[in-house]
Amino acid sequence: MTQNSFTRSNDRSLRPVALSVALTLAAGLTTFSAHAQESPADGVHADRVDWGILMDMSGPTASSQSVWVRGFQDYAAKVNEDGGINGRELNLLVEDNRFDAATDKIAFEKLVGQTPVIAISGMGSSVSQVALADTIKNGKVPVIGTYTPTKALSEPVSPMVYNGFCGYRQQAEAGVGYMVEKLGLENPKVMTVAIETAGGQEYAQFVADAVAKYNGTASSTTMKVTAADVTPQVQQIMSEEPDFITIYGIENTAILTMKTLAQYGLETPAFGITYLGTPSVYAALGAEAGANYNFISCFTPGGADDAEGNAELVAYAAEAGNADLSGNINYVAGWVAGQLAAQALEMAGENPTRESLVAALEGGFTVDSKGLAAPIVFTPEDHTGPQVLKMFSYDYDNSAFTADGDYADYEKYTKPAE
Amino acid sequence: MFAQVLFSGLALGSIYGLVALGFAVVFKATDVFNFAQGMFAVCGAYFAVTAISALDLPFGLAILFMIAACATLGVLAHIFLIQPLAGRSMLAIIMVTIALSIVLRAGIEIFYGPQGRVLTTPLPSGVIRIGDLRISQLHLIAALTSWACMAIFGAFFRFTSVGLLMRATADGHEAALVSGVNVNAMNRLAWAIGAVLAGIGGLFLGQLQIVSPELEAIGLLALPAVVIGGMQSIPGAIIGGLLVGLIAQFAGSYISPKSTDIVIYGLLLLILMVRPWGLLGQRELGRV
Amino acid sequence: MTRPLLEIDALHMRFQGIVALDDVSFSLDEGKVTALIGPNGAGKTTMFNCVTGMYRPTDGAIRFAGETITGLKAHRIARHGIARTFQNLALFSGLTVLQNLLVGAYLKGSSGLLQGMFRTGATRTEEAEAEAQAREILAYLGLDDVADAKPSQLPYGQQKRIEFGRALMQKAKLILLDEPMAGMSKTEKAAMTALIQRVRAEMGMTFLIVEHDIPVIMDVSDKIVVLDFGRKIADGDPRAVRSDPAVIAAYLGTDE
């Protein structure tokens, strides 16, 4: 880039400068790569493989992202207790983005160039994910198991990116489809209440697309991720009177929205995106406001059914001292992302490199989460990740999540139109 | 919709007015532009959460606990941060209050975690409907309590002997000293009152919304409120708070939720340019 | 022999190497008017600030009515019975004339801070008494008809008297007057002189005055203390001081 802008310059006197800059850069790169080869290439050591995680461990989104990391870490610990992957431990290196795109970029470059790691998971901030999308796709380090599935990174399909979280399009389609059917609506009026992020914009568009299929109308309102007062947004809901709303955001904004609705006596049904399905959200809302609130998820919270994977997760979380997190959907998502990472690394063979990892995944693979999610199928044409979702609510009497139906019941909402 | 927005604006504006009043008391007494006022409100909310959820105190005692804790916080801030800097430049003192708010925020995040807390109180949370207008009982109580607090403190400054001494001290530290007034005690009292008013505001904000450090942003609306109303004017702070509440709600509902900050701080800039002493301030007293 | 009301004993005050007061000693007798004079920079205001507790002296002692008050906080010294007026008026501009006086009264009250925050029966009686007293003092000073005015609305001479009234309200035994005649017209000066003499005669008040107007000082003082460059160069009755060669030298700038 630097070189381009220099050579494009009309000022002839700049040419020698440009040349020397280019030479210095080239020399720098050579020494750098020579240096890099001295350390274990691609983060693969004799006894361990370094694997990067980029997530917000502090800041407003940390309450959900740090829980995801705990799930991932616990699954990796379990794998390592069972002997690791092809004889090597899965060593997670977590970098804190601090909800800051600049920090995100520095941390990303550190994991790619300095540490180095074989692959990266998480990328929790949609803003920096969009900003780094080209760098990732044209780079050498695959991103396996994202926390937030933005369009910019996941479309078109790239061999460098494998999503690990419920897709926004699928969440919108399954959620809207379910609500329309359950409430028996024709021409539904739907409002998206989102935080002001790249992901929020994408989600609102997916909701609008899904609502259009039912000849309905969609609108949206946004709030800051750090919002502390959403009265104007609720005024908007009051005046538009949608049949139901869907919430995209963080736990705090979801609670804020539902609480403010309740304060004004509005009983508008609502469903939140997967991230917002946590016991603490329901605890904060209380039985009254919580009764109107569901969430759509491609993962089953710990303890919500008796699948093998679910029992394993609940047991291990208790052992690791994270019993209180096993019901948190973010913990489950992190755990499943760990399953995805472990499987990918196993496929990369005895002596994995970034290159062999990317090559091994290219032909497609399926992750079996043992019932924590529907089987996650990656094909060369589709890296969407978990695609099948269902709606959950909370049973306050028994303090447990309950799913409405099976994953298979919801496939009709997300199947591409023929 | 107009009546609805008007109600919300007045209700929230009353709370902002209360926090702004606390800010003005501190500024009048000690000339300190306290950027930690928003965080004091957050602390009030967290003290209430601690008293109710962690200590299991009944509501009345929890409120007393919150008031005592806020007062202590204000007094400690004055003793350890403001008093040692007496005579230093306004900038140095402002930096200290900014640092204080950052430290308080970090402390809360470490102690309580990033997760927002919910404040459950026995206050009624129902809705009164008058035609299309929905009057949230909680908003109504918050507004009425704020007005009661403002009236109580107004009467305190006007009619009690300590109130008189505080006004005297605010007028002139030296004259108060030679008159035998314990100026430091009066200033500490001002900081305690400022923090308590912020804390009560925080209690309501925390209950209407959720208790998280992000409430600071709302608490800090006291700053534009005070500047708009007039830095030296107690009624100005209250009027400023109401105005900011109304502007925030009307701009949010009629323009866009994103526009509120632009409109509020736009008005702030306008006031600073054409009437820097504020709507109710007195020209010769404008120190900024 | 009675003990002096205020004793200044070998007082030193240094600011980062600058000597503002150098071994100054003198005393004030009860019921007398003492003047503290000297050229600019002689240390008069520093002396006032030491006595009122604004500064903590580097060395030496100050005794008031037999008690050592050196280094006490300013408000404590005020409560011991030392009041002060300022060269550039220090009135509470936000308060009425009456309230300005009341500020001096509430400190003597037995009710503490907490009681003062609420209007209990005891504080109410106390406040009523204080107000009656304040009105009495205002009448004494000829200010009774402006009790509810703000000081800034009044002429300079009256403002000076409000400050004076506040000192009386404090039930001070000693009043320090910092240039009470500064900026006054001839008539105002005469009125102020008369007031000082009246208060001294009728209440037995003790005064320490810093003033540049030498004729007024000669007229009103019982004793004069002269400072120059932080040192005391003379101390005695007005006539003796006036003819003291050291004093003349200091004022005329002659070398010693």
pLDDT in tens, A114-149: 889 999 999 988 888 888 999 999 999 999 999 988
Cα–Cα distance measured from residue A238 to residue A217, given in angstroms and rounded to the nearest whole number: 16
Q: Cβ(A145)–Cβ(A340) under 8 Å? A: yes
Kindly list the partner chains of chain C, i.e. chains with 3 or more CB atom pairs below 8 Å. Answer: B
Within 8 A of B117 by CB-CB distance, chain A residues are 284
Return the pLDDT at C253.
61
Cα–Cα distance measured from residue B232 to residue B227, given in angstroms and rounded to the nearest whole number: 9
Region of A387 (left: φ > 0; alpha: ψ -120 to 50; beta: rest) is: alpha
Chain B with chain C: Cβ pairs closer than 8 A:
91
Return the pLDDT at A95.
92
Within 8 A of C160 by CB-CB distance, chain B residues are none
B134 to B129, C97, C130: CA distances (angstroms): 5, 50, 52
Residue in B162, B172, B180 closest to C116 by CB:
B162
- pLDDT band for position A32 (cuts 50, 70, 90): very low
Question: Among A310-324, B37-51, B211-225, whose mean pLDDT is lowest?
Answer: B211-225
Residue in B159, B181, B189 closest to C103 by CB:
B181
Side-chain-side CA neighbours of residue B23 (13 Å) = 35
- Which ipTM score applies to this complex? 0.84
Name the one residue in this structure whose structure tokens are 């496929």: A347
For the cut 80, the answer to whether the pLDDT of residue B233 exceeds it is yes
What HEC string does chain A produce? CHHHHHHCCCCCCHHHHHHHHHHHHHHHHHHHHHHHHHCCHHHECCCEEEEEEEECCCCCCHHHHHHHHHHHHHHHHHHHHCCCECCEEEEEEEEECCCCHHHHHHHHHHHHHHCCCCCEEECCCHHHHHHHHHHHHCCCCCEEEECCCCHHHHCCCCCCEEECCCCHHHHHHHHHHHHHHHHCCCCCEEEEEEECCHHHHHHHHHHHHHHHHCCCEEEEEEECCCCCCCHHHHHHHHHHCCCEEEEECCHHHHHHHHHHHHHCCCCCCEEECHHHCCHHHHHHHHHHHHCCEEEEECECCCCCCCCHHHHHHHHHHHHCCCHHHCCCHHHHHHHHHHHHHHHHHHHCCCCCCHHHHHHHHCCCEEECCCCCECCEEEECCECCCCCCCEEEEEECCCCEEEECCCHHHHHHHHCCCC
Return the pLDDT at C174.
95
Return the pLDDT at A12.
46
Return the pLDDT at C239.
87
Return the pLDDT at A7.
37
Cα–Cα distance measured from residue A42 to residue A118, given in angstroms and rounded to the nearest whole number: 5
- Asked if B170 lies within 8 A of C94 by C-beta distance, the reply is yes
Do the bridges between strand A270-272 and strand A293-297 make them parallel or antiparallel, or are there none, so unpaired? parallel
Cα–Cα distance measured from residue A224 to residue A241, given in angstroms and rounded to the nearest whole number: 22
Mutate to test the interface with B, among C73, C75, C129 (most CBs of B within 10 A): C75
Tokens standing for B49? Answer: 């959460």
Mean pLDDT of B150-167: 89
Return the pLDDT at A8.
40
Residue in B139, B214, B257 closest to A228 by CB:
B214
Mean pLDDT of A395-407: 89
Within 8 A of B29 by CB-CB distance, chain C residues are none
Among B29, B34, B23, B27, smallest CA distance to B173 is for B29
Among C86, C220, C106, smallest CA distance to C162 is for C86
Return the pLDDT at B197.
96
B74 to A175, B40, B65, B69: CA distances (angstroms): 49, 8, 14, 9
Structure confidence by residue, pLDDT tens digits, A227-258: 878 888 998 998 899 999 999 998 889 999 99
For the cut 90, the answer to whether the pLDDT of residue B87 exceeds it is no
For the cut 50, the answer to whether the pLDDT of residue A5 exceeds it is no
Return the pLDDT at A370.
92
- Asked if B159 lies within 8 A of C86 by C-beta distance, the reply is no
Q: Cβ(A161)–Cβ(A362) under 8 Å? A: no
Return the pLDDT at A152.
87
Chain centroid to Cα A302, Å, comes to 18
Among B67, B63, B78, B64, smallest CA distance to B29 is for B78
Within 8 A of B180 by CB-CB distance, chain C residues are 75, 78-79, 104, 107, 170
Q: Which residue of A has its CA nearest to B217?
A: A228
Alpha helices by DSSP H, listed for C106-244, are 113-117, 121-140, 156-169, 186-203, 214-220, 238-242
Cα–Cα distance measured from residue C6 to residue C4, given in angstroms and rounded to the nearest whole number: 6
Nearest chain B CA: its distance from A124 CA (Å):
16
C121 to A202, A232, C115, C116, C131: CA distances (angstroms): 68, 49, 10, 11, 15
Return the pLDDT at C254.
53
Residues 41-100 on C with a CB inside 8 Å of B are: 52-54, 73-75, 78-79, 83-84, 86, 90-95, 99-100
Return the pLDDT at C7.
93
For the cut 70, the answer to whether the pLDDT of residue B214 exceeds it is yes
What percent of chain A is predicted at pLDDT more than 70?
90
- Asked if C78 lies within 8 A of B177 by C-beta distance, the reply is yes
Mutate to test the interface with C, among B158, B161, B285, B287 (most CBs of C within 10 A): B161
Return the pLDDT at A205.
95
Nearest chain B CA: its distance from A228 CA (Å):
5
Alpha helices by DSSP H, listed for chain C, are 44-51, 74-80, 97-105, 113-117, 121-140, 156-169, 186-203, 214-220, 238-242, 245-252
Structure confidence by residue, pLDDT tens digits, A142-188: 999 999 888 888 888 999 999 999 988 999 999 999 999 999 999 99
Mean pLDDT of A308-325: 93
Q: CB neighbours of C132 closer than 8 A, spacing ≥ 6?
A: none
B267 to B98, B188, C117: CA distances (angstroms): 23, 32, 37
Kindly list the partner chains of chain B, i.e. chains with 3 or more CB atom pairs below 8 Å. Answer: A, C
Cα–Cα distance measured from residue A200 to residue A183, given in angstroms and rounded to the nearest whole number: 25
Return the pLDDT at C40.
83
Return the pLDDT at A21.
53
- Asked if C95 lies within 8 A of B183 by C-beta distance, the reply is no
- Asked if B164 lies within 8 A of C106 by C-beta distance, the reply is yes
What percent of chain B is predicted at pLDDT more than 70?
98
Q: CB neighbours of B123 closer than 8 A, spacing ≥ 6?
A: B137, B138, B141, B207
Return the pLDDT at C119.
66
Mean pLDDT of A192-220: 93
Return the pLDDT at A226.
80
- Asked if B258 lies within 8 A of A196 by C-beta distance, the reply is yes
- Positions of chain C with pLDDT under 70: 1, 107-120, 252-256
Return the pLDDT at A187.
94
Nearest chain A CA: its distance from B149 CA (Å):
22
Mean pLDDT of B39-50: 96
Q: Cβ(A305)–Cβ(A371) under 8 Å? A: yes
Mutate to test the interface with A, among B7, B117, B214 (most CBs of A within 10 A): B214
Question: Among A24-28, B41-45, B100-104, B146-150, whose mean pLDDT is lowest?
Answer: A24-28
Coil, strand or helix at B124: coil
Domains along chain A with CATH numbers = 42-166+304-378 (3.40.50.2300), 168-297+390-414 (3.40.50.2300)
Domains along chain C with CATH numbers = 6-81+172-252 (3.40.50.300)
Q: CB neighbours of A391 closer than 8 A, spacing ≥ 6?
A: A174, A175, A178, A271, A294, A295, A296, A297, A403, A404, A405, A410
Tokens standing for C147? Answer: 């009790």
Q: CB neighbours of C114 closer than 8 A, spacing ≥ 6?
A: none
Return the pLDDT at A167.
87
Q: Mean pLDDT for chain A?
A: 87
Q: CB neighbours of C168 closer than 8 A, spacing ≥ 6?
A: C83, C104, C137, C140, C199, C203
Among C80, C11, C105, C3, smallest CA distance to C49 is for C11
Cα–Cα distance measured from residue B19 to residue B25, given in angstroms and rounded to the nearest whole number: 10
Structure confidence by residue, pLDDT tens digits, B3-23: 889 998 999 999 999 999 999
- Asked if C86 lies within 8 A of B160 by C-beta distance, the reply is no
Tokens standing for A325? Answer: 């997190």
- Asked if C119 lies within 8 A of B170 by C-beta distance, the reply is no
Q: CB neighbours of A260 closer than 8 A, spacing ≥ 6?
A: A230, A231, A233, A234, B208, B209
Within 8 A of B182 by CB-CB distance, chain C residues are 73, 75
